Structure 1
């Protein structure tokens, strides 16, 4: 799977909605009521070019997306990569994919955020908002300190995962 930006300009936003409409209808769900909240809130933002959405794709099929922003926050030194409004495809949302695949999806999406923070959006702190505190079980093993971990600090508070990444120059010492 790969993490890519989703925009209105390149039509990836429209494509995602079209694919998810088909998936919802295959599950016998009315897409307009199924996605009423998140898509209604994001459509104007996306049309304004300020969406900041990143999607996790399996080939050309969007599996999940979340809004990502890089900002300065009072309790952190340096920028924070903040990931919110995680939304998963109807395949996962309706349980067709199974709980084990859902857990793997969350791990891959979070890993993508770590990659973004190390590359395109350069930040040494990440705040990742889960859909529910129950989802924390899938990322909880990352709290265990291990020598090759990329995390200096990793905590889960309710539905929020917070971590500080080790700085590259400190890793070589």
Structure 2
């Protein structure tokens, strides 16, 4: 099993902290920090699972005494939509927008924020069941195509604008 971490993030110190943790735990052979990836869809298409572990707020004490504080700016996480469009099931924390995208137990698993045991259990369940992943990926692709397509989004926006104008 490999864990591929793609993206640069907003704070280089956070990535450096993650990389140091990966090294400290002896996980350099299975956890790869890829940084910026030009076409993440190629990675997603080859993945067994997409993982999004965002939290609303985070504070990390760095070894040098500095502190990183941040807040999630996820609204409707695009990473999840991209994974679903590629037919990849998702394990994600329960942040804004995730429940709108992921059907818990059907297209992925939704776990409470800041609950590593629940997150690990969801990952183990998903990785242990190839048939579930295949079915969840198929359903995820169908939902991405029908519920989150450009025509669906445009129709939803038009409806919202008509309702707002009527008020």
| TM-score > 0.5, shorter chain as reference | no
Greater per-residue strand proportion: 1
Structure of greater Rg: 2
TM-score (norm 1): 0.31
Greater per-residue helix proportion: 2
